[in-house]
Amino acid sequence: MTASKAIEDAIFALLSQREASATICPSEVARKLAPTQWKTLMPSVREVAAQLAIDGRLIATQKGKEVNALTAHGPIRLKSMDSHFGESTKLNDREQSTNTTRQFDQKNRSHKIAKAIKAGQESPRLPK
């Protein structure tokens, strides 16, 4: 099993143990997988969370607002998409345009990260 798959499995295992509307902290995932060296796993957990968000499988939030798990500074929370369906999702044209731009940027960043990982390089620090 790859590290990314193990992280993904841990994220969804922790989310499944909570109520549908509950969130988890990425550090919980890292601590579950590497109890003594969890801090070294944090960038990877955020990378996997960002990819899962791009794939529409979870949402990363900060102070209750959706954020990019890779570029958000400070603590974030992860929640299941199932809990998101109950929320109001009607967006005005400006919000839709902004979200489309963000999705493109996220996919572009994820592509660069995946390319670096496949090449055996450390994850690049990408601009916001």
pLDDT tier at 116, thresholds 50, 70, 90: low
pTM for this entry: 0.64
Q: Which long-range contacts (CB under 8 A, 24 or more apart) does 63-71 make?
A: 68/102, 68/105, 68/106, 68/109, 69/26, 70/46, 70/106, 70/109, 70/113, 70/126, 71/109, 71/126, 71/128
* pLDDT at position 39 over 90: yes
Read off the DSSP letter of residue 128: -
- Determine the Cα–Cα distance for residues 90 and 54; give it in Å rounded to an integer: 19
- In tens, the pLDDT along 68-100 reads 998 999 999 999 887 554 443 444 554 555 555
Domains annotated on the chain, with CATH = 3-89 (1.10.10.10)
54 in Cβ contact with 110 (< 8 Å): yes
